[in-house]
Amino acid sequence: MEKPYILHMITPAKNLSPFDVNMALDAGWDNTVGYTNVETDEVEALIQDAIFSRGPAGAKRTGVFLGGRDMHLVMGMLKICESSMVPPFETSCFADPSGAFTTAAGMMACVEQGLKEKFDTDLKGKHVVIMGGTGPVGSAAAVLAAKAGADVQIMGRKKEKSEQVAELCNREYGDGETGIRGEANSMIGEVAKSADVILAAVAAGVQVISEEHIKSASELKVVADVNAVPPSGIAGLDAMDDCKAVEGSSSGAVGIGALVIGNVKYQTQHRLLQEMRAADKPVFLHFEHAFGMAKEIKRG
């Protein structure tokens, strides 16, 4: 009798995400087991308990999913997972804190397609502004955009924190290829004027880009918002907009709504969970792998 596929779901948060549990089971995992309030120094022991108990063949039918809310904490945990493997006892791991990595990947894949289809261009050299850029979705999107050649500014309530997060992203994930900058939300009026792309990754129900900001953005090509709860973070953008012309834009910008992004996010997470389950050799998946998958999905 073959051993079942077991996914161990580890989170530093108080609760495991029901969304992620549903996604795992729908992707073909037979069982999920949750571990909450996990500290970083507990990860290695959990991983080695999981791999040694089933033998090398059973380890291939075992996986680890890392949740939570802190991108940087979870990426650290993913490194520990990888270093905890003892060949031939190895298993695959997938980090997606609060769905932030697959959401950021879905948003950037949609933006790339919008730039290509509507403006015959790509992210290289574009000024990308990310509202809510200090959070996990915004930070992951910033790294993806910067690695694609964009000039990225992340915006937050305090300039000092935005600069700290930008520096952290450049140092930890930039591989010498990124120059992400931080700025305060209060400067959005000036920053928007030269933006090619504006992304909203802020809390639900907060509008951060007004009609005036859109009118003043003479270079604007694409706007996108990951919040499906009204009001939109970007004035005039509907959750179902799929590269629809943005009202009031003097540059012919198009908008991408949260449900369009969410559809790509859902498919991306589903396929990566399946990829981990089917892997013959261990894979360690995070936002860059999610971006590659999301681009495949958008290409059809």
How does pLDDT run across 151-208, given as a tens digit for each residue? 999 999 999 999 999 999 999 999 999 999 999 999 999 999 999 999 999 988 889 9
Q: Report how far residue 72's alpha carbon sits from residue 240's, in angstroms, rounded to the nearest whole number.
A: 31
User: At which residue do the structure tokens 């879905």 appear?
Assistant: 106
Domain, as residue range, for 131: 103-261
Give the model confidence (pLDDT) of 220-263 as tens digits.
999 999 999 999 999 999 999 999 999 999 999 999 999 999 99
Q: Report how far residue 171's alpha carbon sits from residue 178's, in angstroms, rounded to the nearest whole number.
A: 9
Q: Is residue 199 part of a domain?
A: yes
Q: Is residue 205 part of a domain?
A: yes
Nearest to 289 by CA among 101, 146, 136: 101
Q: Is residue 1 part of a domain?
A: no
83 and 24, same structural domain?
Answer: yes
294 and 255, same structural domain?
Answer: no
Give Dmax over CA atoms of the chain in angstroms: 66
285 and 236, same structural domain?
Answer: no
DSSP H stretches of helix in the chain: 18-26, 43-52, 55-59, 71-83, 100-119, 136-147, 159-173, 188-191, 211-216, 258-278, 287-299
Residue 2: pLDDT over 90: no
218 and 81, same structural domain?
Answer: no
90 and 129, same structural domain?
Answer: no
Number of domains, the chain: 2
What CATH number is given to the structural domain containing 227?
3.40.50.720
Give the pTM. 0.97
What CATH number is given to the structural domain containing 23?
3.40.50.10280
Q: Which residues pair with 89 in a beta bridge?
A: 86
93 and 74, same structural domain?
Answer: yes
